[in-house]
């Protein structure tokens, strides 16, 4: 069985891994402890494993880990920390956009990517931006409200 040594950074930490050719980025990240990246459908349908790969939001289950050699990966814990939450995280708490919480890491990553590209999204922009992330608890309404509020919060922060 072929194994390969690869290097990448996760939330600014350099990682060196021995990987198999067919191993996915999702499984490799979880194997070395980044279990905030959630394993669910493994088919690109649910978005629970969303990460930023060189700044682009992708499903970690749809990438061979060897393809990520040399890349910068950001998980939900790189978007914000407990002591320094990203506005999306703050507003998900504030608006009640988290119930069971399983989809939340992916939602945060997709919402951050959306707001980085489009700081003043309409409701439709937000719905489209999160279209690859399934949530079975909230009905999405409070999630959309949270992203909208996060956009306003970031704009006000930027103006001050």
Partner 1 sequence: MEFLRAASVDEALAAAGDGAAFVAGGTNLVPDVLFGRKKIARAVDISRLDELRFIEEADGKIRIGALATVTDLLDSRLIRDAAPPLYESALEFAGPLVRNRASVAGNLMDASPAADLAPPLLSQDAVVELASGEGERVLPLSEFFLDYRKTAARPEELMTAVVIDPLGTADRCAYYKLQLRRAMAIAVVGVAVVLRMEESVCEQAAIGMGAVAAVPYRASAAEAHLRGKEIGEAEIEAAAAAAADGARPIDDVRASGAYRRKMCGVLVRRLLKKALGMPHAAAV
Which residues are near partner 1 by CB under 8 A? 2, 4, 20-22, 24, 42-45, 47, 50, 56-59, 61-64, 66-67, 69, 110, 113-114, 128-129, 131-134
Shortest approach of partner 1 to residue 159 CB, angstroms?
A: 28
Q: Which is nearer to partner 1, 114 or 154 (CB)?
A: 114
Q: Are the beta carbons of 72 and 8 closer than 8 angstroms?
A: yes
Q: Which is nearer to partner 1, 4 or 93 (CB)?
A: 4
Q: Are the beta carbons of 150 and 90 closer than 8 angstroms?
A: yes
Q: Are the beta carbons of 111 and 129 closer than 8 angstroms?
A: yes
Residue 134 to residue 36: CA distance in whole angstroms:
16
Shortest approach of partner 1 to residue 2 CB, angstroms?
A: 5
Shortest approach of partner 1 to residue 156 CB, angstroms?
A: 26
| H-state helical runs in the chain | 25-31, 76-79, 87-95, 104-117, 123-129, 141-159
Shortest approach of partner 1 to residue 142 CB, angstroms?
A: 19
Q: Which is nearer to partner 1, 124 or 159 (CB)?
A: 124
């Amino acid at each position: 069985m072929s194994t390969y040594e690869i290097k990448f950074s996760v939330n600014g930490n350099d990682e060196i891994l021995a990987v198999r050719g067919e191993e996915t980025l999702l499984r490799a990240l979880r194997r070395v402890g980044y279990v905030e990246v959630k394993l669910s459908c493994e088919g690109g349908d649910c978005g629970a494993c969303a990460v930023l790969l060189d700044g682009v939001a992708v499903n970690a289950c749809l990438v061979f880990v060897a393809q990520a050699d040399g890349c910068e990966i950001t998980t939900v814990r790189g978007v914000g920390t407990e002591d320094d939450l990203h506005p999306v995280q703050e507003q998900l708490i504030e608006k009640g956009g988290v119930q069971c919480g399983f989809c939340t890491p992916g939602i945060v990553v997709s919402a951050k990517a959306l707001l980085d590209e489009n700081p003043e999204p309409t409701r439709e922009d937000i719905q489209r931006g999160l279209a690859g992330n399934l949530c079975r608890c909230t009905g999405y309404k409070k999630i959309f409200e949270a992203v909208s509020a996060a956009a306003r919060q970031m704009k006000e922060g930027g103006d001050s």
